[in-house]
């Protein structure tokens, strides 16, 4: 049986569209310590960076199944920003704080390694409140 693709890129694109369609500004929280990221490190705080993904703040925004990339200005200087979708920790609307945090179990397209790479852990969140719900906070 084929393994389904990870949910994270689909949820990220859906939340980005919903936030944009609502007239708000989509922001993402990115784990800047993940391999394959290319972000302006001068703006990283506590290993994370918050990025504005609005169409007015970015140029050539592309949210693929594996990579998010765009060009944006930081202090007037254009930077090419690129990071794996698995590095996205959450997405939210700047104006309302509404959004979604992504569970650590779903770290993107990287397949689990080792012989025990079967179903996920028994304590994974099944949407019925069994696991602790993530809390969204604004990082400035």
pLDDT in 10s for each residue of the chain, 140 residues: 788 888 999 999 999 999 999 999 999 999 998 878 899 999 999 999 999 999 999 999 999 999 999 999 999 999 999 999 999 999 999 999 999 999 875 554 444 433 443 433 333 344 444 445 556 666 66
Q: Please tell me the predicted confidence (pLDDT) of residue 130.
A: 43
First to last CA, the chain: 44
Using CA atoms, how far apart are residues 62 and 50, in angstroms rounded to an integer?
17
- Domain range summary for the chain, segments of one domain joined by +: 25-101
Question: Among residues 44, 88, 43, 41, which one has the least CA distance to residue 63?
Answer: 88
Element (H, E) at 123: none
- Both structure tokens of 98: 């509404």
For 25-101, CATH gives 2.30.30.220
pTM: 0.72
Q: Please tell me the predicted confidence (pLDDT) of residue 3.
A: 86
Q: Please tell me the predicted confidence (pLDDT) of residue 113.
A: 38
HEC readout, 77-107:
EEEEEEEEHHHEEEEEECCCCCEEECCCCCC
């Amino acid at each position: 049986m084929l393994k389904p693709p990870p949910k994270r890129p689909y949820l990220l694109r859906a939340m980005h569209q919903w936030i944009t369609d609502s007239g708000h500004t989509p922001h993402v929280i990115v784990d800047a310590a993940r391999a394959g990221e290319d972000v302006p490190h001068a703006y990283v705080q506590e290993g994370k960076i918050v990025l504005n993904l609005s169409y007015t703040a970015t140029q050539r925004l592309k949210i693929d199944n594996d990579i998010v990339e765009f060009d944006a200005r930081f202090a007037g200087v254009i930077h090419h920003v690129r990071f794996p979708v698995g590095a996205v920790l959450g997405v939210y609307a700047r104006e309302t704080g509404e959004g979604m945090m992504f569970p650590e179990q779903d770290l993107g397209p990287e397949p689990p390694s080792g012989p025990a790479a079967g179903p996920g852990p028994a304590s994974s969140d099944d949407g019925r409140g069994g696991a602790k719900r993530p809390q969204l906070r604004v990082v400035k």
